[in-house]
Amino acid sequence: MKKTIAIVAGGDTSEYQVSLRSAQGIYSFIDKEKYTLYIVVMHGNDWHVQLPDETELPIDRNDFSFMLDGEKVKFDYAYITIHGTPGEDGRLQGYFDMLGIPYSCCGVFAAALTYNKFACNQYLKGFGVKVAESLLLRRGQTIDEADVVEKIGLPCFVKPSLGGSSFGVSKVKSPEQIKTAIAKAFEESDEVVIEAFLDGTEISCGCYKTKGKNVVLPITEVVSHNEYFDYDAKYNGEVEEITPARIPDSVRDRVWALTSAVYDIIGAQGIIRIDYFITEGRKINLLEVNTTPGMTATSFIPQQVRAAGLDIKDVMTEIIEDKLN
C-alpha cells in the first residue's frame, strides 16, 4: 500500500513564495508510483491541503490529518520545505515529534541552531571551523558606527540572523550606511548580524546521509553579476552557477570532508547545503548551514544531484525510506 506524504510549504516569513516553489519542485521529484503526495500549505493559523484543482481542505492540527470525500487522510511522512519559521527553526519538528510523524530534515535542536546564523557559526567556531568575524544586535540594542568600523571593518554585511533568500541583507561600504542597513535587517528578524566582508570564491556544497549511505555532492561555484549573491541573483538569473566548481581538487576534497563533518557535528538529517567562501591561502570559511535548502528545479541541490550522475527521484526515495524503515 502506498505511503501518504505531506510536502509541507509556506510559513510565516518573506520566503513564503520561495517555499511554495520548492514544494512544486519536490512534488515533481518524488516517485508518484511509490507514494501518494499532497502539498500542505501553512500560513499563520491557516493550514490546508492544496489539491491539484486548487481546492483547499483544512488540516486538523490535533493529528495532522484532513478529510477527503468523507474519509480521514493521515500522513505517514512529512517532507518539510518551509524556508523560515515554523519549518526551519525547529517548531514544526517538535510538533511532528509529538505526533510521531517522521519527517525529512533534522530535529529540533539542529534546526533551531542552524536557523540562527550567529549562534550556529559561533557554535561551529568552537569545533575549529573558520567563520567571518561578526557582531550580534538584538532588537532595542544599538551600536556606534565607529565600533563597527573598528571591530568588523568596511565593507561589511548587515543581515538578519534569522531568515534566508537574502531578504534584509545589505552590503555596507561607508559608516553612513550602517544604521539604515541595520533597520532594514530588523524588518526581517529580531536579531541582526554585522559580518566582516570575505573576498574570494563563493561555493555551496550539498550533503545527505542515510543509515547505509553518506553522499557529499559536487560543489557549485557562485559567480554573482551583482554586488553579492542577493535575491535577484538567486531567483532572477543574475548569477552564474558552475557545477562542479572551478577549484583545485585538494580544496574540493577539504570542502567535502568539512561538509561531512559539520553534518555530523550539528546532527543533521536528510539533505543539507552549506555555503562557503574560499579566501586567500585557500582558507575555507563557512558562511551558513541550510537544513531545508531550496528545491526548485534550478536550485543548487538538484543541480548537484545531476552533476553527481544521480537521479533526484532515487535520492528522494532514499531519504524518505530512511525514516520509514
Classify each residue of 1-29 as buried b or exposed e, where b means 16 or more C-beta atoms within 10 Å of its C-beta: eeeebbbbbbbebbbbebbbbbbbbbbeb
Q: What pLDDT is stored for residue 325 in this prediction?
A: 84
Q: What pLDDT is stored for residue 230 in this prediction?
A: 46
For the chain, give every domain's residue range: 3-104, 112-130+198-319, 134-196
- Cα 164-156-184 angle, rounded to 5 deg: 50
Number of other residues whose CB lies within 10 A of the CB of residue 123: 17
Matching residue, cell 532588537: 139
pLDDT in tens, 103-138: 999 999 999 999 998 999 999 999 999 999 999 999
What is the CATH architecture assignment of 134-196?
2-Layer Sandwich (3.30)
Task: Give the pLDDT of the chain (325 residues) as one tens digit per residue.
Answer: 899 999 999 999 888 999 999 999 999 999 999 999 999 999 999 999 999 888 999 999 999 999 999 999 999 999 999 998 999 999 999 999 999 999 999 999 999 999 998 999 999 999 999 999 999 999 999 899 999 999 999 999 999 887 654 678 999 999 999 999 999 999 888 899 999 999 999 999 999 999 989 999 999 999 977 664 444 444 445 689 999 999 999 999 999 999 999 999 999 999 999 999 999 999 999 999 999 999 988 899 999 999 999 999 999 999 999 999 8
Ramachandran bin of 263, using left for φ above 0, alpha for ψ from -120 to 50, beta for the remaining angles:
alpha
pLDDT in tens, 211-243: 989 999 999 999 977 664 444 444 445 689 999
* Fold category of 3-104 in CATH: Rossmann fold (3.40.50)
Cα(63)–Cα(297) distance, integer angstroms: 32
Predicted model pTM? 0.91
Grid cell for residue 306: 545531476
Q: What pLDDT is stored for residue 258 in this prediction?
A: 98
Superfamily of domain 112-130+198-319: ATP-grasp fold, B domain (3.30.470.20)
User: Which of helix, strand or coil describes residue 290?
Assistant: strand
